[in-house]
């Protein structure tokens, strides 16, 4: 039988111009991609006239529908064994896109995270939590057998994973070297883990507060006569992976003397119990997590913060001020430095990020188990070639835009997208456009990402930012004069010597006015940006500077607490946005529509990130999601939360609350309509837009959005190449129609992202290396023309060996091109003679043609 599964490497650097969406070489009429085929010109921002999303509760049925052409693309990954089990005839009917986009982890509840490790629950019960002991959490890294999970559960379709950084992707190897330095292995060491847990529990039992309370009675530890148990939430709706893994780990924990309550539930019950509940409720102490990549990345500082730093809101307690929350000030400090551009040099950036990675691993509140090689499928006969896809995340928003489905008999291009859901629904999380946890599931993201354009997009092939709804200054032309300064607390933060004009303005949430910054203000950088010509909202109104101004002011308003009872303040929102707001030193709003932003965001490793990080953006809220709305929709929801609604419902942005705002929930949509009608009657102008928009302009916006909502029955109004024309929550279907006013064509994206990539197919390490002698590594490298996966031997690639030293430094050696895709790299005897005998050294191999995404492989140099 044939094997279709092939992984192509990811990410590094691409130059971006002030233009919003240029890239590639040649023009659309002479593009050379997919076997020298020309790129067909599209009518719209997506090739399809209509996209229909549906859901299946059976993965085998869903795959069969793609094979038979009833579904064009399966947007949910298909299990490896299902694809491997297909006949050759059926395999020939599908295109397979395989990427390392999924990952599995364990979420641990560490409350109270300090001795004596007992606490009183919200119900008044005194309990002992074994995972409050750091040593017990850390021991989980040896208790789990990651290799067994990959080999037996994932059937080889994955890799052992020790951090949130997917192994094998470019830019990740430095993070993933740490596990070996800490003594962790893919197979684990169950005996060692049990010993670590037992010693930690015995030590806890000797504490004066636990004397006579915490005792081992037979096999299990007890506290006050009851088992000191682990309440383990296991996803029963993932029977092939997380259910199996959960049961295996439960057995291992019980060998270590910890009784496990195996709570095998589906997603609907788990989400509220894990992410929506107060850890002090203690209804859950461990959970089998499954994560999608969320995007293709060139740097991973945000990943570190999201999955390890309390401030970001994804750790126990979710940064909710009403909950007990996990805290780690050092991790938060390092995370904010990396995510918000606070490093002066690339070396400082890496030093801090690697330190943060180590702290996260050692505190062990989230234990990573494995990556997953996810496979997505499309029907070959229905499509004109392969679609653009994320090398780090698989099918994404650009897949929908570039899916050139063949027309039906009526000449209409209708793209049918399938997704798997064990519950049989596309609607798993609240469609909240403001809160930090709205649109938190893969189903909603697959839809809204395709119809929403933020200021800056991310290349699915390089992970580099590029101008989308906003064009920004060429990175080589921005002004940068960064320096570190001490803030009022004596902490070093980013500052600079770029003079900010005295008439630059910032929004003051206390006075509700735009205020000049005055004389003597400086910043690290200045970047000019401008709304891309032709962008319109789905209600037909153009995207304007008013949208940018409103978004700026909204973020300041909701992230700043002006008094104890400030109704416009939200703590989780502030937790994510405050550092970004602090970087804003003022903006100059020019008469030609351009804006010069003065900022203390300086991304030392990459000037493109520095430039894009200061671009203006119409997105006001729901940080971390692709959602973006016109200012009047943000205003309507905000005022519903603060000043009430027509129905009397007291709306909020609290995850899981029955009254959380929702752009598709009909009762909430009715209240949005009523609020817009109220705005029209009162000729309402948001306080932040007074003097910026007129009453006439404001009313025109309200009327346009009101008409859209009345026509389509929902309030998801955005600016992408398609809009939601119909939502059927009963049939679990969503229909997207092409948006005629979108200023781009789908073929532009195909052209922009077309790239020749290398792939390291084989590495042969020296088998008898000796100190003082040359050590030769042989590599076989192929070329693929993304998004195709057809490979030919790579000619003229640059292939380098990166020898890793124990102190964290590396020595780089360039390999010689021997022809026919064969490369030989040599570590000279003069260097091997300096290495310690009896040691194994990691060698990272990197290949590329230029500044495109490289391929990365790892090998070892073993010296006797």
Q: Tens digit of pLDDT for each residue in 833-853?
A: 999 888 889 999 999 998 888
C-alpha to C-alpha distance for 780 and 815, rounded to whole angstroms: 11
Check residue 166 and give its pLDDT: 85
Check residue 102 and give its pLDDT: 87
Check residue 37 and give its pLDDT: 64
Evaluate if residue 23 carries a pLDDT over 70: no
What burial letters (b/e) apply to 62-77, b meaning 16+ CB within 10 Å?
A: bbbbbbeeebbbbbbb
C-alpha to C-alpha distance for 488 and 328, rounded to whole angstroms: 21
Check residue 778 and give its pLDDT: 98
C-alpha to C-alpha distance for 553 and 693, rounded to whole angstroms: 14
Evaluate if residue 330 carries a pLDDT over 70: yes
- pLDDT band with cut points at 50, 70 and 90 for residue 21: very low
Check residue 271 and give its pLDDT: 85
Evaluate if residue 28 carries a pLDDT over 60: no
- The angle formed by the CA atoms of residues 222, 223 and 227, to the nearest 5 degrees, is 40
Question: Tokens 């009833």 identify what position?
Answer: 70
Count of beta carbons in the 10 Å neighbourhood of residue 208: 6
Check residue 18 and give its pLDDT: 26
pLDDT digits (tens, 9 = 90+) for 684-723: 999 999 999 999 999 999 999 999 999 999 999 999 999 9
C-alpha to C-alpha distance for 734 and 417, rounded to whole angstroms: 10
Tokens of 360: 């996260």
- The angle formed by the CA atoms of residues 660, 664 and 666, to the nearest 5 degrees, is 85
C-alpha to C-alpha distance for 342 and 353, rounded to whole angstroms: 12
Check residue 628 and give its pLDDT: 98
Check residue 426 and give its pLDDT: 81
Q: Give SS3 for 99.
A: strand
Q: What is the largest CA-CA distance in the chain?
A: 85
| pLDDT average, residue stretch 730-737 | 92
Evaluate if residue 600 carries a pLDDT over 90: yes
| pLDDT average, residue stretch 264-292 | 92
Check residue 533 and give its pLDDT: 97
What is the phi-psi region of residue 821: left when phi exceeds 0, alpha when psi lies from -120 to 50, beta otherwise?
A: left
- Average pLDDT, rounded, for the chain: 92
| pLDDT average, residue stretch 555-577 | 94
Check residue 15 and give its pLDDT: 24
pLDDT digits (tens, 9 = 90+) for 211-259: 999 999 999 999 999 999 999 999 998 998 999 999 999 999 999 999 9
Q: Give SS3 for 618.
A: coil
Instruction: State CA 405 to chain mean position distance.
Output: 28
| pLDDT average, residue stretch 595-609 | 97
Check residue 394 and give its pLDDT: 92
Check residue 674 and give its pLDDT: 98
Evaluate if residue 377 carries a pLDDT over 60: yes
* Domains of the chain and CATH, by start: 28-93+380-462 (no CATH), 101-297+366-371 (3.10.105.10), 473-714 (no CATH), 754-863 (2.60.40.10)
Evaluate if residue 424 carries a pLDDT over 80: no
Q: Quick check: 743 and 533 in contact, CB under 8 A?
A: yes
Strands 214-217 and 220-223: antiparallel
Q: Among residues of the chain, what percentage have pLDDT more than 90?
A: 81
pLDDT digits (tens, 9 = 90+) for 451-490: 999 999 999 998 999 999 999 999 999 999 999 999 888 8
Q: Quick check: 204 and 133 in contact, CB under 8 A?
A: yes
C-alpha to C-alpha distance for 245 and 37, rounded to whole angstroms: 45
- pLDDT band with cut points at 50, 70 and 90 for residue 81: confident
pLDDT digits (tens, 9 = 90+) for 500-514: 999 999 999 999 999
Tokens of 186: 């893919």
pLDDT digits (tens, 9 = 90+) for 127-156: 999 999 999 999 999 999 999 999 999 999
- The angle formed by the CA atoms of residues 376, 380 and 384, to the nearest 5 degrees, is 110
Check residue 295 and give its pLDDT: 80
| pLDDT average, residue stretch 631-659 | 93
- pLDDT band with cut points at 50, 70 and 90 for residue 381: very high
pLDDT digits (tens, 9 = 90+) for 386-419: 999 999 889 999 999 999 999 999 999 999 999 9
Instruction: State CA 201 to chain mean position distance.
Output: 36
Check residue 33 and give its pLDDT: 38
C-alpha to C-alpha distance for 71 and 74, rounded to whole angstroms: 7
C-alpha to C-alpha distance for 738 and 48, rounded to whole angstroms: 7
Q: Quick check: 7 and 458 in contact, CB under 8 A?
A: no
pLDDT digits (tens, 9 = 90+) for 756-813: 999 999 999 999 999 999 999 999 999 999 999 899 999 999 999 999 998 888 999 9
- The angle formed by the CA atoms of residues 805, 807 and 809, to the nearest 5 degrees, is 60
DSSP E strand boundaries for 755-815: 755-764, 775-786, 791-793, 798-804, 810-814
Check residue 268 and give its pLDDT: 78
Check residue 16 and give its pLDDT: 22
Check residue 12 and give its pLDDT: 30
Tokens of 557: 């308003």
């Amino acid at each position: 039988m044939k094997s279709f599964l092939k992984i192509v490497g990811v990410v590094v650097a691409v130059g971006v111009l002030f233009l919003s969406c240029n890239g590639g070489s040649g023009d659309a009429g002479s593009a050379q991609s997919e076997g020298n085929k020309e790129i067909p010109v599209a009518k719209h921002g997506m090739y399809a006239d209509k996209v229909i999303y549906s859901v299946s509760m059976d993965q085998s049925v869903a795959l069969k529908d793609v094979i038979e052409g009833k579904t064009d693309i399966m947007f949910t990954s298909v299990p490896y064994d299902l694809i491997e089990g297909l006949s050759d005839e059926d395999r020939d009917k599908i295109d397979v896109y395989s990427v390392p986009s999924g990952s599995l982890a364990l979420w641990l509840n560490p409350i109270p995270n300090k001795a004596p490790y007992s606490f009183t629950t919200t119900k008044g019960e005194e309990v002992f939590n074994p995972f409050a002991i750091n040593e017990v959490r850390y021991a989980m890294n040896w208790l789990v057998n990651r290799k067994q999970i990959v080999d037996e559960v994932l059937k080889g379709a994955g890799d052992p994973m020790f951090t949130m950084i997917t192994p094998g992707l470019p830019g990740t190897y430095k993070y993933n070297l740490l596990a070996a330095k800490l003594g962790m292995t893919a197979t684990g060491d169950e005996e060692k883990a049990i010993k670590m847990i037992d010693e930690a529990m015995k030590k806890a039992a000797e504490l004066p507060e636990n004397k006579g309370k915490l005792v081992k009675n037979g096999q299990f530890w007890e506290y006050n006569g009851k088992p000191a148990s682990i309440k383990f939430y296991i996803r029963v709706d993932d029977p092939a992976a997380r259910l199996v893994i959960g049961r295996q780990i439960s057995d291992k924990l019980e060998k270590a003397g910890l009784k496990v309550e195996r709570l095998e539930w589906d997603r609907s019950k788990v989400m509220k119990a894990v992410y929506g509940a107060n850890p002090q409720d203690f209804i859950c102490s461990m959970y089998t997590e499954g994560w999608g990549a969320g995007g293709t990345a060139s740097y991973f500082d945000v990943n570190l913060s999201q999955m390890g730093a309390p401030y970001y809101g994804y750790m126990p307690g979710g940064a909710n001020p009403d909950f007990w929350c996990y805290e780690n000030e050092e991790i938060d400090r390092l995370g904010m430095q990396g995510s918000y551009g606070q490093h002066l040099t690339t070396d400082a950036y890496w030093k801090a990020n690697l330190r943060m990675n180590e702290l996260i691993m050692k505190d062990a509140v989230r234990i990573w188990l494995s990556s997953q090689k996810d496979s997505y499928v499309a029907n070959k006969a229905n499509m004109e070639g392969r679609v653009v896809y994320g090398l780090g995340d698989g099918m994404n928003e650009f897949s929908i835009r570039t899916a050139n489905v063949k027309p039906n008999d009526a000449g209409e291009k209708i793209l049918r997208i399938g997704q798997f859901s064990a519950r049989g629904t596309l609607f798993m999380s609240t469609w909240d456009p403001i809160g930090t946890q709205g649109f938190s599931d893969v189903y909603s993201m697959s839809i809204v990402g395709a119809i929403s354009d933020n200021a800056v997009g991310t290349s699915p092939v390089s992970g580099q930012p590029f101008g989308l709804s906003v064009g920004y200054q060429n990175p080589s032309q921005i002004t940068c004069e960064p320096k570190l300064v001490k803030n009022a607390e004596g902490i070093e933060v980013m500052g600079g010597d770029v003079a900010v004009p005295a008439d630059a303005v910032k929004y003051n949430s206390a006075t509700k006015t735009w205020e000049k910054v005055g004389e003597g203000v400086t910043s690290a950088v200045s970047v000019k940006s401008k709304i891309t010509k032709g962008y319109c909202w789905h209600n037909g109104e153009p995207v304007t500077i008013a949208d940018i101004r409103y978004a700026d002011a909204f973020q300041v308003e909701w992230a700043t607490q002006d008094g104890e009872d400030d109704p416009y303040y939200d703590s989780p929102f502030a937790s994510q946005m405050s550092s970004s707001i602090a970087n804003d030193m003022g903006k100059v709003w020019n008469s030609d529509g351009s804006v010069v932003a003065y900022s203390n965001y300086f991304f030392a490793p990459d000037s493109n990130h520095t430039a894009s990080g200061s671009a203006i953006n119409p997105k006001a809220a729901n940080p971390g999601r692709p959602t973006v709305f016109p200012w009047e929709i943000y205003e309507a929801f905000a005022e519903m939360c603060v000043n009430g609604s027509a129905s009397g419902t007291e709306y909020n942005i609290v995850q899981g609350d029955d009254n959380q705002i929702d752009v598709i929930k009909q009762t909430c949509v009715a209240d949005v309509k009523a609020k817009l009608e109220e705005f029209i009657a009162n000729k309402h102008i948001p306080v932040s837009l007074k003097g910026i928009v007129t009453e006439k302009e404001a009313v025109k916006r309200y009327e346009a959005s009101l008409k859209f909502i009345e026509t389509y029955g929902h309030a998801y109004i955005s600016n992408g190449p398609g809009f939601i024309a119909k939502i059927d929550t009963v049939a679990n279907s969503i229909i997207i129609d092409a948006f005629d006013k979108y200023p781009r064509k789908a073929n532009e994206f195909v052209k922009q992202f077309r790239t020749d990539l290398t792939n390291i197919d084989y590495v042969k390490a020296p088998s008898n290396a000796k100190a003082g002698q040359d050590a030769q590594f042989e590599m076989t490298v192929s070329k693929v023309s993304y998004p195709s996966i057809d490979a030919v031997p790579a000619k003229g690639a640059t292939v380098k060996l990166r020898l890793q030293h124990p102190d964290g430094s590396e020595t780089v050696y360039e390999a010689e091109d021997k022809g026919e895709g064969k490369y030989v790299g040599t570590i000279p005897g003069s260097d091997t003679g300096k290495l310690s005998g009896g040691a194994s050294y990691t060698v990272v191999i990197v290949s590329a043609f230029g500044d495109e995404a490289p391929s990365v492989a790892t090998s070892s140099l073993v010296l006797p």
